[in-house]
Structure 1
Amino acid sequence: MSVESVQTPQPSPPVPHGDPVLTVSGMSKAFGAVRALTEVNLEVYPGEVVAIVGDNGAGKSTLVKILAGVYPPDTGVITFQGRPVSIPSPAASRALGIATVFQDLALCDNLDVVSNLFLGREVGNFTLNEEEMEKRSWELLRQLSAKIPSVRIAVASLSGGQRQTVAIARSLIGEPRVVILDEPTAALGVAQTAEVLNLIERLRERGHGILLISHNMADVQAVADRVVVLRLGRNNGDFQVADVSYEDIISAITGATDNVVTRRAATHSSGEAAHQ
């Protein structure tokens, strides 16, 4: 039995209406002799959820950190709202209009929800305007249909899904155009995962372009409009979710046309055909 490494063919996805808010063209990045990204291309449109998937070492984290201003690219062009930009630092990324929510969330457990939302962006001149920050916190959480019992509760006492909600809400304080979510449902239960997926739907409705990094194919197929596959630091697929099967995505991720998932799907299809 042979496993064949291939460049998985796929149809070109239809172009959404309007112009992309974020475009990455020919991006490459190496760490010494290790090439993390090679000529990677990506587009994100307003109100679109683009899932970035790939195996460990595919280059997903490197791509996210370049867009977040953690790493500079070696080559390539980043275009934001129609103009070429450089992102030399995380502060520059945020100022540009890109908000990144990393997997560790970076919340202060001993502070309440309001303090976490406005940490570093407090309202007020010489004294904090607690009333205004609390009002804006409730407004933002209501827009996201967030299930937070109180904005004055310590973050340490919140569930995993609620903590993810606070981290995402905090990223929206600066009115970003693009929101990057790094494994937002990792280690969450079923109910908490559903809560976060609903939150992603709210972000889409608000018109944000969303980059979703995930290993969970069920989550990807539930909320993403498009799936971009990275394999060994290169593009290996750009699919409309409505037009692609789970098996096609797995084949693009692994670079193999013959694997346990595709064999199981073929066996299932043969069994159904035999009973008809």
Structure 2
Amino acid sequence: MGEVILTMKGIDKSFPGVHALDHVDLEIRKGEVLALMGENGAGKSTLMKVLTGIYKKDSGTITYEGKEVEFANPRDAQAAGVVIVHQELNMMNHLTVAQNIFIGREIMNGKLINDAKMNQEAAKLFDRLNIKIDPTEKMGNLTVGRQQMCEIAKAISHDAKVIIFDEPSAALTEAEIEELFKIIRDLRDKGMGIVYISHRMDEIKVITDRVTVMRDGCYVGTLITKECTKDDIINMMVGRVIYEDPKTESNVPKNAPVVLKVENLNAGKMVQNVSFELHKGEILGFSGLMGAGRTETARALFGADPKESGKIYINGKEVDIKNPMDAVKHGIGYLSEDRKRYGIVVGKSVAENSTMATMDQFMSGAFINKKKERGIAQKYVDSLKTKTPSVDQLVVNLSGGNQQKVVIAKWLVRNCDILIFDEPTRGIDVGAKSEIYHLMNELVAAGKSIIMISSEMTEILRMSDRIIVMCEGRVTGEIGIEEATQERIMHAATLRK
């Protein structure tokens, strides 16, 4: 192991009603990849925000290159060589790659921006990373994976000595993840200290040297990656054993009625002649590779995108769904994969978000009955075990897993019989995943029916009663869970019709 480059000792940070960090320790070494793990709400992001000057710590010390420091803001941290690559990329799509890399610190030629020099310097950065990207290309023309590489190049341009990767692979393909890992290994071998935040346990075992675990705002411990198991890490994260065995048989009775029938649904190139049935009390998994058309199918079914043709039947009756309001009236709720954009209003409270789809039920004349609203919101906070100081807390202050629970509460308050879960556990830790899985099983046991879209094979095999596989906008397979294997699903997911 390399020498210690940065130490955080006894870091404490509180917000109103929340003790976010409770005397947390962290040690980053040169020439290593350190995993920082913990459930949503464990304090990982808060700790990194304290490090990079976004938040001011209440107490504790940060020692960097042998000197005690406290960065006033992210720009100060960057100037010192401590850089964070955020999960949500902050790029200007209308600018070139080079312009994005040097935005806010453009290379000037007198009073004019020297684009030629910036292109030249960006090309040097890409050479250093062994990746081929044209510095003059518009950022909006690149894939998410390529944009991620540009964000890394931007970090390197600050003469970074410590780089923090926050969920860097969340939106990447397998090929792009491999490319990312090559870059990270190369940076590590050049002596940089790297912090890697991820919920993907398999990645942690592949790319990291040590694992530091946090729980409930506290430091739990640090393990050598090659000397520990996946279960060791999970136990430290959640304080209990979580089992992820695949489902071996369907829980749906053979005579369960069909609650939703879709016939030859068409909506652009990504939804072509899609047909399937959903039974009462069933979890119907939708699997496929990126770009298979699963989300597009869900959006067309929900009325979020216009359908060109096809028929939709609910409980045997044909329905005309032209918009999401029609879908909700027919008892369909949609939990989008992008919950911050489509599922919740982050600037509103837990109570306001919980009743958003049923506002008419909480009106007293021209005013909202706040007491009634808080009462129903509290009911679902309790039943879903949502971690929040109160139902008046703004949703923006909750962890990802708890934000997801608020979205679920919204549709439960509406009493929807058909729920579409699109990537229900994306960006959620193993403990919150287990709670979401338990909740989904409770919902179908109570007679609800669920369509679950997931890119995680283990999730599909663990939760589904039956699996619909898509490839390039078409259904290419339907597999009962009794016969389902990763190989069969992948075969269907690559079967072009």
TM-score (structure 2 length as normaliser): 0.48
CA distance in 2, matches of 1:261, 1:249: 14
C-alpha displacement at 1:31, in angstroms?
Answer: 0.7
Q: 1:240 is matched with which residue?
A: 224
C-alpha displacement at 1:228, in angstroms?
Answer: 0.4
1:126 aligns with 2:81: no
1:89 aligns with 2:89: no
| Partner-residue secondary structure (3-state), 2:153 | helix
C-alpha displacement at 1:127, in angstroms?
Answer: 2.2
Contact 1:98 1:177 in 2 (8 A): yes
| Partner-residue secondary structure (3-state), 1:35 | strand
C-alpha displacement at 1:87, in angstroms?
Answer: 1.5
Q: 1:192 aligned to 153, 158, 176, which one? A: 176
For these two proteins, the number of residue pairs brought into alignment is 245
Q: 1:100 aligned to 63, 69, 84, which one? A: 84
CA distance in 2, matches of 1:194, 1:126: 42
Q: 1:142 aligned to 98, 123, 127, which one? A: 127
The structure number with the bigger radius of gyration is 2
1:50 aligns with 2:34: yes
1:41 aligns with 2:25: yes
Deviates more, 1:166-175 or 1:126-135: 126-135
Q: 1:210 is matched with which residue?
A: 194
| Partner-residue secondary structure (3-state), 1:151 | coil
Distance 1:181-1:17 versus aligned 2 partners, 3 A rule: closer
| Partner-residue secondary structure (3-state), 1:30 | strand
* 1:211-256 CA-partner distances (Å, limit 9, x unpaired): 1111111111111111100111111120111111111111111111
Q: 2:432 is matched with which residue?
A: none
Q: 2:166 is matched with which residue?
A: 182
C-alpha displacement at 1:100, in angstroms?
Answer: 1.0
CA distance in 2, matches of 1:118, 1:55: 35
Contact 1:250 1:261 in 2 (8 A): no
Distance 1:117-1:17 versus aligned 2 partners, 3 A rule: closer
Computed over aligned residues only, the root mean square deviation of the Cα atoms, in angstroms, reads 1.6
C-alpha displacement at 1:126, in angstroms?
Answer: 2.0
Bigger relative contact order, structure 1 or 2 (CA pairs below 8 A, ≥6 apart): 1
CA distance in 1, matches of 2:73, 2:105: 18
C-alpha displacement at 1:261, in angstroms?
Answer: 5.0
Q: 2:425 is matched with which residue?
A: none
Q: 1:8 is matched with which residue?
A: none
Contact 1:117 1:137 in 2 (8 A): yes
CA distance in 2, matches of 1:165, 1:192: 9
Contact 2:2 2:32 in 1 (8 A): no
Gaps (5+ residues) in structure 1? 1-15, 263-276
Contact 1:197 1:219 in 2 (8 A): no
| Partner-residue secondary structure (3-state), 1:242 | helix
1:62 aligns with 2:59: no
CA distance in 2, matches of 1:246, 1:211: 19
| Aligned AA (2:144) | G
Q: 1:169 aligned to 129, 146, 153, which one? A: 153
* 1:125-182 CA-partner distances (Å, limit 9, x unpaired): 322222221111111111111242x111111111111111001110111202111111
Contact 2:2 2:30 in 1 (8 A): no
Q: 2:5 aligned to 2, 21, 39, which one? A: 21
CA distance in 2, matches of 1:81, 1:252: 30
CA distance in 1, matches of 2:166, 2:210: 16
Distance 1:236-1:261 versus aligned 2 partners, 3 A rule: farther
CA distance in 1, matches of 2:163, 2:42: 21
CA distance in 2, matches of 1:23, 1:261: 35
C-alpha displacement at 1:205, in angstroms?
Answer: 2.1
Gaps (5+ residues) in structure 2? 246-497
| Partner-residue secondary structure (3-state), 2:105 | coil
CA distance in 2, matches of 1:142, 1:224: 24
| Aligned AA (2:190) | R
CA distance in 2, matches of 1:61, 1:17: 25
Identity of aligned residues (%): 36
Q: 1:259 aligned to 218, 235, 242, which one? A: 242
